[in-house]
């Protein structure tokens, strides 16, 4: 190697790798959020819950670790959380803490405080290596396809067509042929509503694909999405997810985009005003009496803020629909927007009444993109329509000039512009008060297609590792033991050079881990196998080099020439074998799924790091030893072995 | 110097016999590969057992009933065990339940296999209902997906490796490497069948690891052959032989180093990783064997044959 000054490269690499890995072994702080409702419980119940929490803390959580908790679990904390400090706070433990103390701790609000590395260098992004479901457990959500809702929505979207066809069918002024056609078409439409098992499966397959894509877009590695055929459900396994609000996000993302018309200005046919006005009036009344907290919109906001879930929100809306006698034809929605400042959070602001019939749905839209509007300082989403969609859109916009057309994303109305003129051409855009993330999410929903079936959460639970706690602990120890034995083996066989190889091996593993944590990779059992193979290949590279150097030494070359020649000779061998493996690794990443992908990712990065350590780092250290530190006798292997080979 | 080329037909015959015996036993004696929950589906229950029930007791219980169950300890503190019962034993469970409840009992007739399993466990271990944490009839998870993507993935991988090796070496080397690779995979699969190891995600990982290891091992030998072929004026067979001998120390040391880390898993007692470790141990020995005794000799055979074709 040309110059010893290059030594700063590996030192820099190792230093930054260790920095990256710091969050994995540093002492961390966890905020265990206390439920707001907990405060309202009777004192007796509260004491009991706190007692059992303290009890479990002593017996289940604390003994194995030196975790500190403030304040004492027996005492209700002044702030909204308990602060836990300690090393190796795994998400599995966080899950256990919140799952076993459900009435005390609000799981979605738990917060693992970022370490300084995460905070200052990576802007709060978590860096600790995530372990897969098979290694540490995680979250499992079973989503049941709601086929009733699916058919009723499907019916909604055909309401107008069915009306039209039924009218045609009975219209005596039309020819026999036309009436027959209408009847056939009607039959065909009706057959859409019959769900055979194979059609259900096909819809589930579509949903699976979409969920898969979305989860990958969420940077979740190795989510497993499976269909449980006999239950019409989809099972999603999320390794290392400790936070169910993330899941709720994903579920929110699995929702649809639809256009629905707002109720016309006199929906009753008499001049009583709209339902919207009636609600508005009530709210105003309460406001004027200074009872803002009692207004329905504030109560609804509270449901949202407390994350009580979609069910609660739906229930609330149903009650309101009854209260205001909103007829079957319409449905109550909530419009979400921001307060004046664009950084404020998106919250429900207003109730709106929309037609139940869907004017245009996600199936009619495609190619959505988010863009930034300089003038309004916000994002919007533009998209194009399918030819059928364009026709529908033109039809709706031309028939309803002056009315408001609401865009419903999931269960949120995100904008409801007034139709000023018929829109033709098949391009449209949605202006909401979007932040970048929301605009991207919405564009994703439109582009990837909406979920074909609504999915309800059937079951959501945290699950233990596939291999069991016991075998993972033992397995990890076994792997470490193996690693230590390999290091000893190299030392015994190759002596000083073996030490160099060992240093290279350690650096290799450190850099690889750092890379994986930088990428937010989820380490699974197959991933672990990939690391084992990497270690094997890294050892191999060094063995090849040393055997080559040994040959040169036996041939009588000077130490420094032998080292140079040995590396030279070994270079292409190592390159060829690694590149070939890399090829198979890349193909596995591209084409493989789940376990294969996890294996291949670690393998590919492992090859890259081991090329760096064996061809660059090893060589540098060897050069340093031979050329600068004046090591004259490089002992590679036993003397005996050498003489035998001469 | 050992003459590896001289014994090429012995080693190829040996491999062929291994393959035939492996698959013969797999299909002849066992009627196929072992079934596993991950690949074929079956019953899965997670149960919190009383403190005095240990793994040993459970193993005895299931073997006394002639049921094949895989036990995984999920939570040490609570004594939660996951019990996996493959499709093969599902009928057996139902039969046991019917035997216990009486042939005519409505309860037994209407019970699904999973009900039967719960029923048996509840009675035999005197469990309350809430101690059964979950029980499902699970469908195949990895099986179908993996076998379909696996085969296309493998053929594509082999194709690209062949392309690269033909480019970097010569076609005959590429062919030898690919055949050795297929050889390793086929024998390992035969091994899995012979010992009725249950296919699972760790086994897939082991197979993939083996694949990577085997390519690596073969190429190191080939590289030496290429180098020597350029430098030495000797017959191709002798160049191969010399090259294998020259790389022998490296082959041996690397294999030992890699084996150490795998065997550590077995010695370390990671029960649920045993299958992974067995397959890998076998695979590494086999990969070493094939890079010395199969890959290079195959190149030699191809070389001889192609020369003969050219002459004729």
Test B216 with A537 for CB contact under 8 angstroms: yes
Looking only at the bridges linking them, the beta strands covering B42-48 and A405-409 are unpaired
Please give the tally of structural domains in chain B: 2
Question: Do B230 and B287 reside in the same domain of the chain?
Answer: yes
Please tell me if residue A533 touches chain B, with a CB cutoff of 8 Å. yes
In a domain, B37, yes or no: no
Q: Please tell me the predicted confidence (pLDDT) of residue A646.
A: 33
Show contacts of B69-78: CB within 8 Å, 24+ apart.
B70/B37, B70/B198, B72/A466, B72/A467, B72/A468, B72/A471, B72/B272, B73/A468, B73/A469, B73/A470, B73/A471, B74/A464, B74/A465, B74/A468, B74/A469, B74/B46, B75/A464, B75/A469, B76/A469, B76/A470, B77/A60, B78/B48
Domain A27-114 has CATH 3.30.70: yes
Residue of chain B whose alpha carbon sits nearest to that of A574: B220
Residue of chain B whose alpha carbon sits nearest to that of A230: B139
Please give, rounded to a whole number of angstroms, the shortest distance from the CA of A568 to a CA of chain B: 13
In a domain, B217, yes or no: yes
What pTM did the predictor assign? Answer: 0.69
pLDDT tens digits, one per residue of B65-108: 888 788 877 777 778 888 888 777 778 888 888 888 777 777 77
Mean pLDDT of chain B: 84
Looking only at the bridges linking them, the beta strands covering B132-138 and B42-48 are antiparallel
Question: Do B146 and B113 reside in the same domain of the chain?
Answer: no
% of chain A with per-residue pLDDT over 90: 11
CATH number at residue B63: 3.30.70
Using the structure block, give the residue that is written with the tokens 């062929």.
B16
Test B202 with A576 for CB contact under 8 angstroms: no
Test A525 with B201 for CB contact under 8 angstroms: yes
* Dist CA A460 CA A95 (whole Å): 12
Question: Do B178 and B265 reside in the same domain of the chain?
Answer: yes
Q: Of the ranges A10-14, A623-627, B126-130, which one carries the lowest mean pLDDT score?
A: B126-130
pLDDT tens digits, one per residue of A596-608: 788 888 999 999 9
Output the CA–CA distances (angstroms, integers) from residue A276 to A324, A353, A354, in the order listed. 9, 6, 10
Give residue A459's pLDDT band: very low, low, confident or very high (50, 70, 90): low
A contacts of B80 (beta carbons < 8 Å): 464
Question: Do B24 and B101 reside in the same domain of the chain?
Answer: no
The closest of B218, B239, B236, B238 to B302, measured between CA atoms, is: B236
| Beta-carbon pairs below 8 A across chains A and B | 219
pLDDT tens digits, one per residue of B245-303: 999 988 998 899 888 888 887 887 666 678 888 998 999 999 999 988 999 889 999 98
What interface predicted TM-score (ipTM) does this complex get? 0.78
In a domain, B258, yes or no: yes
What average pLDDT does the segment A387-403 reach? Answer: 87
pLDDT tens digits, one per residue of A222-233: 677 777 766 778
* Dist CA A241 CA A465 (whole Å): 13
CATH superfamily of the domain spanning A466-628: Multidrug efflux transporter AcrB transmembrane domain (1.20.1640.10)
User: Does B188 score more than 90 pLDDT?
Assistant: yes
Q: Please tell me the predicted confidence (pLDDT) of residue B145.
A: 62
pLDDT tens digits, one per residue of A508-555: 999 999 998 888 787 877 888 888 888 888 888 999 999 899 888 888
Choosing among A234, A237, A577, A636, which should be mutated to test the B contact, i.e. which has the most B CBs within 10 A? A577
> Between B158 and A172, whose confidence is greater?
B158
Q: Please tell me the predicted confidence (pLDDT) of residue A445.
A: 73
Q: Please tell me the predicted confidence (pLDDT) of residue A641.
A: 38
pLDDT tens digits, one per residue of A119-149: 888 877 778 887 777 777 777 777 888 788 7
Residue of chain B whose alpha carbon sits nearest to that of A644: B1
B contacts of A478 (beta carbons < 8 Å): 264-270, 273
Distance linking the first and last C-alpha atoms of chain A: 28
For chain A, the domains span: 27-114, 139-252, 257-450, 466-628
In a domain, B202, yes or no: yes
What average pLDDT does the segment A565-571 reach? Answer: 92
Q: Could you say which of B114, B137, B160 is where a domain stops?
A: B137
Paired with A424 in beta bridges are none
Query: In this structure, what token pair is assigned to residue A246?
Result: 């993330």
Helix (H) or strand (E) holding A407: strand A405-409
Crossing angle (nearest 10°) for helices B201-231 and B296-311: 50
The closest of A606, A422, A41, A215 to B216, measured between CA atoms, is: A606
Give residue A469's pLDDT band: very low, low, confident or very high (50, 70, 90): low
Test A481 with B267 for CB contact under 8 angstroms: yes
B contacts of A525 (beta carbons < 8 Å): 201-202, 205
Q: Could you say which of B103, B137, B171 is where a domain stops?
A: B137
Q: Please tell me the predicted confidence (pLDDT) of residue A388.
A: 85
Considering A23-27, A135-139, A204-208, B34-38, the range whose residues carry the highest mean pLDDT is A23-27
User: Does B48 score more than 80 pLDDT?
Assistant: yes
Q: Please tell me the predicted confidence (pLDDT) of residue A152.
A: 77
Test A540 with B258 for CB contact under 8 angstroms: yes
Question: Do B250 and B287 reside in the same domain of the chain?
Answer: yes
B contacts of A60 (beta carbons < 8 Å): 77
In a domain, B91, yes or no: yes
Q: Of the ranges A48-52, A367-371, A635-639, B254-258, which one carries the lowest mean pLDDT score?
A: A635-639
What average pLDDT does the segment A252-273 reach? Answer: 72
Test B265 with A479 for CB contact under 8 angstroms: yes
Q: B81 in helix, strand or coil?
A: strand
Q: Please tell me the predicted confidence (pLDDT) of residue A575.
A: 93
CATH number at residue B303: 1.20.1640.10
| Torsion angles phi and psi, residue A539, rounded to 5 | -60, -45
Question: Do B93 and B51 reside in the same domain of the chain?
Answer: yes
Question: Do B129 and B152 reside in the same domain of the chain?
Answer: no
B contacts of A523 (beta carbons < 8 Å): none
Computed on alpha carbons and rounded to an integer, the radius of gyration of chain A in Å comes to 32
Q: Could you say which of B137, B160, B189 is where a domain stops?
A: B137
Question: Do B123 and B158 reside in the same domain of the chain?
Answer: no
Q: Please tell me the predicted confidence (pLDDT) of residue B142.
A: 59
In a domain, B21, yes or no: yes
Test B152 with A577 for CB contact under 8 angstroms: no
Question: Do B146 and B215 reside in the same domain of the chain?
Answer: yes
Q: Please tell me the predicted confidence (pLDDT) of residue A15.
A: 92
> Between B201 and A423, whose confidence is greater?
A423
Question: Do B118 and B183 reside in the same domain of the chain?
Answer: no
In a domain, B248, yes or no: yes
Q: Please tell me the predicted confidence (pLDDT) of residue A449.
A: 65
Give residue A91's pLDDT band: very low, low, confident or very high (50, 70, 90): confident
The CATH T-level fold of domain A257-450 is Gyrase A; domain 2 (3.30.1360)
Question: Do B209 and B274 reside in the same domain of the chain?
Answer: yes
Choosing among A547, A586, A610, A645, which should be mutated to test the B contact, i.e. which has the most B CBs within 10 A? A547
Considering A113-117, B32-36, B135-139, the range whose residues carry the highest mean pLDDT is A113-117
In a domain, B153, yes or no: yes
Question: Do B14 and B112 reside in the same domain of the chain?
Answer: no
- Structural domain containing residue B100: 42-137
Q: Of the ranges A18-32, A410-424, A470-484, A559-573, which one carries the lowest mean pLDDT score?
A: A470-484
**Partner residue opposite A60 with nearest CB, options B77, B139, B164:** B77
**Partner residue opposite B74 with nearest CB, options A469, A573, A600:** A469
């Amino acid at each position: 190697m040309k110059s010893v000054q290059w030594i700063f490269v590996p030192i820099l690499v190792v230093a930054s790798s260790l920095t990256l890995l710091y969050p994995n072994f540093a002492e961390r702080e966890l905020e265990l959020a206390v439920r707001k409702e907990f405060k309202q419980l009777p004192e007796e119940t509260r004491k009991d819950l706190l007692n059992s929490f303290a009890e479990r803390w002593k017996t289940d959580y604390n003994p194995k670790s030196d975790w500190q908790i403030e304040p004492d679990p027996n005492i209700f904390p002044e702030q909204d959380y308990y602060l836990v400090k300690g090393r190796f706070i795994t998400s599995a433990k966080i899950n256990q803490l919140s799952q076993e103390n459900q009435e005390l701790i609000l799981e979605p609000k738990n917060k693992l405080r970022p370490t300084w590395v995460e905070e200052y260098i990576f802007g709060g992004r978590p860096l600790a290596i995530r372990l897969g479901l098979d290694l540490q457990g995680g979250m499992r959500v079973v989503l049941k396809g709601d086929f009733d809702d699916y058919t009723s929505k499907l019916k909604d979207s055909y309401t107008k067509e069915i009306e039209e066809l039924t009218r045609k069918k009975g219209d005596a002024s039309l020819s026999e042929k036309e009436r027959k056609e209408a009847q056939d078409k009607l039959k065909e439409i009706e057959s859409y509503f019959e769900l055979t098992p194979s059609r259900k499966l096909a819809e589930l397959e579509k949903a699976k694909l979409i969920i898969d894509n979305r989860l990958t877009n969420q940077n979740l590695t190795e989510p497993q999405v499976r269909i449980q055929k006999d239950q019409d459900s989809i099972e999603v396994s999320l390794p290392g997810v400790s936070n169910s609000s993330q899941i709720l996000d994903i579920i929110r993302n699995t929702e649809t985009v639809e256009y629905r018309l707002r109720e016309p200005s006199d929906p009753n046919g008499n001049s009583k005003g709209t339902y919207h006005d009636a609600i508005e009036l009530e709210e105003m009344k309460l406001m004027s009496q200074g009872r803002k907290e009692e207004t329905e919109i504030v109560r609804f906001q509270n449901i949202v803020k407390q994350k009580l879930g979609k069910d609660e929100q739906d229930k609330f809306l149903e009650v309101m629909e009854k209260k205001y006698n909103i007829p079957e034809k319409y449905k109550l929605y909530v419009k979400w927007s921001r307060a004046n400042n664009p950084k404020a959070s998106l919250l429900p602001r207003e109730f709106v009444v929309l037609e139940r019939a869907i004017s245009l749905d996600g199936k009619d839209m495609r190619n959505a993109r988010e863009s930034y509007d300089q003038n309004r300082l916000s994002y919007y989403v533009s998209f194009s329509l399918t030819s059928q969609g364009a026709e529908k859109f033109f039809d709706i916009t031309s028939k309803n000039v002056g009315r408001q057309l609401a865009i419903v994303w999931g269960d949120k109305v995100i904008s409801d512009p007034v139709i000023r003129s018929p829109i033709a051409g098949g391009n449209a855009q949605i202006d909401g008060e979007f932040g970048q993330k929301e605009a991207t999410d919405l564009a994703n929903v439109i582009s990837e297609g909406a979920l074909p079936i609504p999915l309800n959460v059937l079951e959501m639970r945290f699950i233990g590792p596939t291999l069991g706690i016991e075998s993972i602990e033992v397995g990890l120890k076994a792997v470490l033991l193996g690693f230590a034995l390999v290091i000893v083996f190299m030392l015994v066989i190759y002596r000083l050079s073996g030490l160099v190889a060992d240093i290279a091996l350690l650096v290799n593993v450190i850099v690889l881990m750092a890379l994986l944590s930088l990428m937010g990779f989820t380490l699974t059992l197959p991933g672990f196998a990939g690391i084992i193979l990497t270690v094997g290949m890294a050892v191999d590279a060094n063995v090849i080099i040393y055997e080559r150097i040994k040959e040169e030494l036996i041939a009588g070359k000077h130490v420094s020439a032998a080292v140079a020649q040995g590396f030279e000779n070994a270079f292409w061998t190592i390159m060829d074998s690694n590149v070939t493996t890399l090829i198979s690794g890349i193909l596995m990443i591209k084409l493989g799924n789940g376990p294969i992908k996890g294996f291949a990712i670690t393998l590919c990065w492992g090859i890259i790091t081991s090329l760096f350590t064996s061809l660059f780092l090893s060589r540098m250290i060897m050069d340093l030893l031979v050329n600068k530190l004046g090591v004259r006798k490089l002992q590679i292997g036993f003397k005996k072995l050498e003489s035998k080979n001469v | 110097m050992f003459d590896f080329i001289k014994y090429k037909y012995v080693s190829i015959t040996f491999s062929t016999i291994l393959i035939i015996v492996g698959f013969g036993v797999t299909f002849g004696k066992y009627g196929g590969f072992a079934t596993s929950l991950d690949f074929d589906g079956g019953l899965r229950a997670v149960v919190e057992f009383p403190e005095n029930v240990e793994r040993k007791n459970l193993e005895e219980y299931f073997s006394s009933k002639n049921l094949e169950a895989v036990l995984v300890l999920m939570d040490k503190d609570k004594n939660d065990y996951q019990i996996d019962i493959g499709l093969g034993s599902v009928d057996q469970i139902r039969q046991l339940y019917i035997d216990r409840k009486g042939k005519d009992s409505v309860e037994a007739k209407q019970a699904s296999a999973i009900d039967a399993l719960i029923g048996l466990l509840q009675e035999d271990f005197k469990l309350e209902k809430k101690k059964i944490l979950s029980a499902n009839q699970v469908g195949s998870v990895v099986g179908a997906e993996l076998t379909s993507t696996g085969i296309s993935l493998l053929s594509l991988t082999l194709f690209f490796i062949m392309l690269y090796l033909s480019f970097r070496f010569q076609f005959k080397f590429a062919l030898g490497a690919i055949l050795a690779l297929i050889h390793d995979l086929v024998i390992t699969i035969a091994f899995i069948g012979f010992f009725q190891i249950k296919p699972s995600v760790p086994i897939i990982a082991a197979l993939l690891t083996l694949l990577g290891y085997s390519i690596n091992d073969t190429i190191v030998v080939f590289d030496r052959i290429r180098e020597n072929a350029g430098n030495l004026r000797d017959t191709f067979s002798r160049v191969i032989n010399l090259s294998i001998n020259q790389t022998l120390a490296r082959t041996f040391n690397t294999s030992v180093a890699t084996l150490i880390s795998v065997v550590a898993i077995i010695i370390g007692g990671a029960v649920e990783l045993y299958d992974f470790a067995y397959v890998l141990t076998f695979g590494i020995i086999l990969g070493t064997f094939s890079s010395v005794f199969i890959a290079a000799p195959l190149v030699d055979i191809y070389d001889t044959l192609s020369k003969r074709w050219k002459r004729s």
